[in-house]
Amino acid sequence: MSAPRPSFFYHLHPPTIPAGEARFRHTFGLGGLSLFLFLVLALTGALEMFYYIPSLDGANASVKAIAYLAPFGWLVRNAHYWSAQAMVVVVTLHMLRVILTGSYKKPRRFNYLLGLSLLAFTLLLDFTGYALRWDEDIHWALVVGTNLLKEIPAIGHTLYAIAVGGNEIGASTVVRLYGWHVFGLALPAFAIIVWHAFRVRRDGGIAHRTPNSKPQTSNSNPADSARFAVKLDRIDRAELVRREVLAALNVLAALIFLSIFFDAHIGLPADPGATVAEATAPWFFIWIQELLRLWPPLVAGVLVPLGLMLVLAALPYWIDRSETGVAVWLNREGRWGQVMMLAVLAGIAGLTIWGALR
């Protein structure tokens, strides 16, 4: 019998992998779940493209046509909306798990950076998708959010024109945002996801504990060492695929349930020139909206988000350079990174809840 042809699928699914890599409470399946949500978004988004009209008059009306007129359009739109919201949460949790288990360390540093770029892509995709709705509720995103780009010294106005298609929000803005959403963000994100998944295997599979692996430093936490007793089990390709399919079906069922019972909102058409008493940011940027009440736009809307990304990127290069090669929840070497990540997330969550309740 001839050997199977090498393929991307076989690269991701070798004949066997250590059972520790596939333990649910090690990864919670969050990377795979992010991937699945992205695929749902790509499929439902492609279907929406048949109806969406990227123009000032057409955008809001065509979203309503998808929601109320197109056969099963409501289901497709709701599934697109809920997958997008879930993706922001799931990708953030995936990053949290990577940081709390120390899976960002060498040799996975580069893949960690690829992942970080995917977090930025996820947020920008959600932001542009939300603006494509073109209803009165996107006022903050359209006016305050995009104006933040102008705050960037020297290149700000150019970036703004590239983002919105001119010196002000106008006729070309919808098609420009549409272009960004589909070709400028979703396509590159897909390519980076493929690269990210490829690198997981290339870097030696998902970082985990093996019976022979020891924490690297001699003064490691004894509790970590005690937790090292893991059986040398392996699972085969069929079992791995079976678990993946089962997880995907569960998530699909949850998505369909959400989409049937909870409709994505759509309001009256947007009027960017109108004066709005209190515009609200999309939920994932409420923390920036709150910071803008405290600090100048350059600081709150540009320097803080960029600074946070830079600190996260610096984690495996400057903050924790240990090379354990194994992943242990709350490992001692990674304490600084863990505390930093939890503090940042707590701050963002606190500001979001505060802003949402106000």
* CA nearest to 200, candidates 3, 1, 60, 27: 27
The alpha-helical segments, DSSP class H, found in the chain are 8-12, 24-27, 30-49, 58-68, 73-100, 109-132, 139, 146-147, 156-164, 173-179, 187-202, 222-226, 237-261, 286-294, 297, 304-314, 335-357
Q: And the tokens for 188? A: 């590159």
Comparing CB distances to ligand HEM, the nearer of 77 and 105 is 105
Comparing CB distances to ligand HEM, the nearer of 97 and 139 is 97
The residue ranges that bind ligand HEM (CB under 6 A) are 27, 30-32, 34-35, 38, 91, 94-95, 98, 103-104, 108, 111-112, 115-116, 118-119, 122, 193, 196-197, 200, 206-207, 327
Comparing CB distances to ligand HEM, the nearer of 108 and 209 is 108
Minimum gap (Å) between residue 74 Cβ and ligand HEM? 26
* Three-class SS state of 234: strand
Minimum gap (Å) between residue 189 Cβ and ligand HEM? 7
Comparing CB distances to ligand HEM, the nearer of 7 and 219 is 7
Cβ neighbour number for residue 209 with a 10 Å cutoff? 23
Minimum gap (Å) between residue 97 Cβ and ligand HEM? 7
Minimum gap (Å) between residue 82 Cβ and ligand HEM? 16
Comparing CB distances to ligand HEM, the nearer of 60 and 92 is 92
| Nearest residue to ligand HEM, by Cβ distance, number only | 115
For the chain, the maximum distance between any two Cα atoms, rounded to a whole number of angstroms, is 72
Minimum gap (Å) between residue 92 Cβ and ligand HEM? 7
Amino acid sitting at position 320:
D
Matching residue, tokens 């090690």: 26
Comparing CB distances to ligand HEM, the nearer of 118 and 132 is 118
Minimum gap (Å) between residue 339 Cβ and ligand HEM? 17
Specify whether the CB–CB gap between 341 and 96 falls below 8 A: yes
